[in-house]
Amino acid sequence: MRNSAAATVDISFKNLRRLYIFALLTIAVTVLLSQLLIQHNLNSQLSDSKIINISGKQRMLSQKLTKEILILNFIVDAKNNKKEIDKANEIIKLWKFNQYALENGNDSLGFPKRKSKALSDLFLAIKPNFDNIANAATAFLENKKLGIKEEENQELVQTILKNGAVFLEKMNDIVGQYDKEALEKVTLQSKTEYGILMFTMLVLLLEFIFIFKPTNKKVETLILKHLLSEKKALKLAHDTEVISEAKENSVKELKSLNYAMENTLLYCRVAPDGSLIHIGEKFAKLLFYNPFLSDKTFSQVLTPIEKEQVAIDRIISQRQKSGWQGELNITNRNGDLIWLDLSMVPVTIKKEESELLIICFDITERKKAEEEVERLNIENVTDKINQQKVISSKIVENQENEQNRIAKEIHDGIGQMLTGLKFSLESINLDDKEKSAQKIEYLKKLSLDIIKGVRTATFNLMPPELSDHGIVSSLAKLTQELSKLTGKNILFYNKSNFELRLDSLIEINIYRLTQEAINNAIKYAESTHIIVQLSHSNNILSITIDDNGKGFDIAEAEKKRNSESGMGMLFMKERIQYINGRVFINSIIDEGTRVTFNIPI
């Protein structure tokens, strides 16, 4: 049933993994397509800005060309004439290059070859004017260079002026069309991005509705099924334990058969009367027996000791029908003790004809190891028992001392004040109002002292700060109170601003451990300054107690477990292990001691 539940959980989590992968791939593809589209539009807009810039430049170049033609028309000086002609030719060359790039596209400038129908129509309309200006300017410059045809030049100038104004007007239309199409692209890109955003939000909503929410319910259902399966498995284990004794003999027989099938290194065949039929070569070598001798019984093959032979013969005679499995300790022919794990299995050859299959395993080394382990365990158990006795006696002693101290505090402090309160109440004379008022004021003060005494005794038993506000506040209170009582400079720092509440059992143990470390620093170290620091990470809460006392030898203290210092370290280690924590103690003679507690959180 547990396997079935585990298989169901595995299948469900596989489906969950597929759904998550599908969801993540959907979002990733959406983001990727969005970025590709945005980058494409940005690249397109970059070329659009360059085209608009070049188109505007064409207007400037046409005006500059017209200006240069007019200047040349009135220049008479041949030297300046040549210079202006060269300049005008450069302008015409650049103007034509830009116009052809805009009209037909240019890979080096990044201008597209394909254009909208509106732009194609505008370029078709401006082409005659462009050609007229270009042809007229070229002819004019050629005539000027040769110094001929002045009358024709005047006509060419008029042609340039007439077509120049039209060219500028149509070029303005082209720039406007480019700007309009660029705006349309930006608008389309904005709409596309909004569309992609809405699609992404829709995908996330669908993932929440059809993946996350159903998955949460399914996981809760699977956990409940798993808990139910675990309860049934525990019940089944209990039932199995009840019937395990009845199956023990069958298990032993199956174990013997398993040995015979998987590992027949030490084996032999024996007749029901105990005589040896056949023995394996490895078995014979172990027993220092010649396998070609066939006049020996199985017990005589195993050992030359008569007492051991009798025991083996008894087992064969009593268990030749039911079989037997157990461990034998025998002495071989070299006088060495050997342990054998022996299985005796009855085998029927024919009707009313049977023999015994003996399968053995040499477990001498294992037995030696077990004896050594047992010896070490006995030593360890004895040491543990002695250690626990010492701990128990110290715990009882500390409990008695604590009870006596509390009883003395109550008797000498609270008890005396309550007695005084009783007598004062009995002595009040209501007829004497002035004295009654004085006694009542005294009783109020005495009541406050009693309350303070009760609070002090309660704080020593279980500080209310710990249960009300947690470990940080209680440690701050502890250091403050001990500093007042002892006159020592005891400071507390919460380095990492730890504010979490822990399990009450963990908090009281942390409090007692810190209290024990501070008391040790006060009592044994003769320190004047003690600093308690608390810090934490994601998994560990660390408390460090530093003092400037005389220090001690840690190795010597651990050896002297019956001393107060040795027992103090032992108590801290026992208590910190109880909450799965670790304690580290570092001490330098005449410099001080640091005690660090690390507790998992």
**How many Cβ atoms are within 10 Å of 332's Cβ, its own excluded?**
16
Give the model's pLDDT for residue 465: 80
- Name the band, by pLDDT with cuts 50, 70 and 90, for residue 5: very low
Task: Determine the Cα–Cα distance for residues 386 and 379; give it in Å rounded to an integer.
Answer: 11
Element (H, E) at 203: helix 150-207
- Note the pLDDT tens digit of each residue in 96-130: 888 888 878 777 777 777 878 888 888 888 888 88
Give the model's pLDDT for residue 289: 83
Position with higher pLDDT, 454 vs 128: 128
Burial class (CB in 10 A: 0-12, 13-18, 19+), 531: middle
Task: Determine the Cα–Cα distance for residues 226 and 208; give it in Å rounded to an integer.
Answer: 25
Considering the chain, what percentage of its residues have pLDDT values greater than 70? 80
Residue 234 has pLDDT above 60, yes or no: yes
Long-range contacts of 197-205 (CB under 8 A, 24+ apart): 199/30, 200/27, 200/30, 200/31, 203/23, 203/26, 203/27, 203/30, 204/27
CATH number at 259-362: 3.30.450.20
> Could you tell me the CA-to-CA distances from 584 to 213, 462, 476, 559, 597 in Å, in that order?
47, 26, 22, 17, 7
Task: Determine the Cα–Cα distance for residues 584 and 596; give it in Å rounded to an integer.
Answer: 5
Give the model's pLDDT for residue 581: 94
- Note the pLDDT tens digit of each residue in 588-601: 998 999 999 999 98
Q: How many residues does the chain have?
A: 601
Task: Determine the Cα–Cα distance for residues 200 and 543; give it in Å rounded to an integer.
Answer: 48
> Which fold does the domain 467-600 belong to in CATH?
Heat Shock Protein 90 (3.30.565)
Q: Residue ranges per domain, the chain?
A: 2-221, 259-362, 366-461, 467-600
DSSP-derived letter for residue 563 is: S
Angle, CA of 155, 161 and 164, to the nearest 5°: 135
Task: Determine the Cα–Cα distance for residues 522 and 530; give it in Å rounded to an integer.
Answer: 9
